[in-house]
Amino acid sequence: MKVLFDKSSLKCSKIVTNTYSTSFSLGIKLFAPSIRPYIYAIYGFVRYADEIVDSFNGYPQEELFNEFVNDYRLSLDRKISLNPIINAFQDVVHKYDLQIYADDFLKRMEADLYVSDYTTKEDYENYIYGSADVVGLMCLRVFVHNDDKKFNHLKQSAQHLGSAFQKINFLRDIKDDIEHLGRSYFPNLALNNLNNSNKEEIIADIDQDLNEAYKGIVQLPIESRLGVYIAFRYYQKLLKKLRKADSEKILNERIRISNSLKMFILTKSYIRYKLHIL
């Protein structure tokens, strides 16, 4: 029965999410059960696409990525794929009209196969939009149950949240991006010249994104608000650690949030949520 295959596909997406990201997994668990599977499906798809272009060194990455995209395109017509991650995602694409966002995302992932640095602000912002903002917009379509009025009202905040998360990831992962991928995303620095001055410029930009994102988080439907808020608080705390760290430290080690601190953030955020003081 197709329904069993679809259920198993969603379970595969959940496994991918739990395997690759403890922070997002934590947030998703706090979503209402009615929307949780769809967010797993979105994350599973974007995670696999990203892994192909970032992690499969020594394998034919371009061929693998093209096959992945072609399988996805076919699934849109067939409404099924034997790849369970794609199968789960195509169903969400049809339910929530996500095709334009998925297309933009795949274009940016493909660019990672060929582009190693983003020297202009325009290129950088286009990459941020396609690699992160659209993921936030896909999730938002699910959160508001395809209500166009609510979606348009919260759209800008969702984009700012996606941008903030991506920029924080870029700053935290700058060592690996330079050493293993040979990439530089920030237009205001070259591969190896992060210093405390341009670090503060990057962080100031992220602060603006977080401030705008927060305005939308507190207006999200109740089914998704707590999960998104906890992810927001987690990244806010990670940014605080990056702010305190010397640029040399960031270039030489990956700044992390301990599991105990994550649990503290979860507990404190839950209490604030229940007391209606987000």
Q: Is 1 helix (H, G, I), strand (E, B) or coil?
A: coil
- pLDDT tens digits for 163-220? 999 999 999 988 887 777 777 788 866 555 788 888 899 999 999 999 999 999 999 9
Strand partners, 260: none
Residues 136 and 258 in one domain: yes
Inside any domain, residue 124: no
- Within 13 Å of residue 98, how many CA atoms lie on the same side as its CB? 32
Residues 159 and 252 in one domain: yes
Residues 97 and 228 in one domain: no
**Comparison of pLDDT for 234 and 1, the residue scoring more:** 234
Inside any domain, residue 237: yes
**Comparison of pLDDT for 277 and 92, the residue scoring more:** 92
Residues 135 and 267 in one domain: yes
Residues 83 and 162 in one domain: no
Q: Is the dihedral of CA 81, 83, 87, 93 positive or negative?
A: negative
- What CATH number corresponds to the domain at position 180? 1.10.600.10
Inside any domain, residue 122: no
Residues 95 and 22 in one domain: yes
**Comparison of pLDDT for 269 and 141, the residue scoring more:** 141
Give 21's DSSP letter.
-
- pLDDT over 90, % of the chain: 71
Residues 69 and 161 in one domain: no
Residues 164 and 96 in one domain: no
Residues 95 and 179 in one domain: no
- pLDDT tens digits for 147-169? 999 999 999 999 999 999 999 99
**Comparison of pLDDT for 212 and 276, the residue scoring more:** 212
Instruction: Give the pLDDT mean for 35-59.
Output: 96
Inside any domain, residue 216: yes
Give the pLDDT score at 263: 81
Residues 153 and 98 in one domain: no
Residues 40 and 150 in one domain: no
Inside any domain, residue 70: yes
Give the pLDDT score at 174: 87
Whether pLDDT at 56 is above 60 = yes
For residue 152, the Cα-to-chain-centroid distance in whole angstroms is 20
Write out the residue range of the structural domain in which residue 67 sits.
1-114
Give the pLDDT score at 183: 75
235 band by pLDDT with thresholds 50, 70 and 90 = very high
Q: Which of 91, 114, 137 is the last residue of a domain?
A: 114
Count of domains forming the chain? 2
Inside any domain, residue 123: no
Q: Which of 114, 147, 174 is the last residue of a domain?
A: 114
**Cα distances (angstroms) measured from residue 109 to each of 99, 114, 144, 158, 242:** 15, 10, 26, 20, 26
- pLDDT tens digits for 80-128? 999 999 999 999 999 999 999 999 999 999 999 988 778 788 889 999 9
- Phi/psi for 39 (5° steps) reads -70, -35
Instruction: Give the pLDDT mean for 10-25.
Output: 89
Q: Is 278 helix (H, G, I), strand (E, B) or coil?
A: coil
- CA dist 231 and 207 (Å) reads 15
- Phi/psi for 184 (5° steps) reads -135, 120
Residues 103 and 141 in one domain: no
Q: Which of 54, 89, 114 is the last residue of a domain?
A: 114
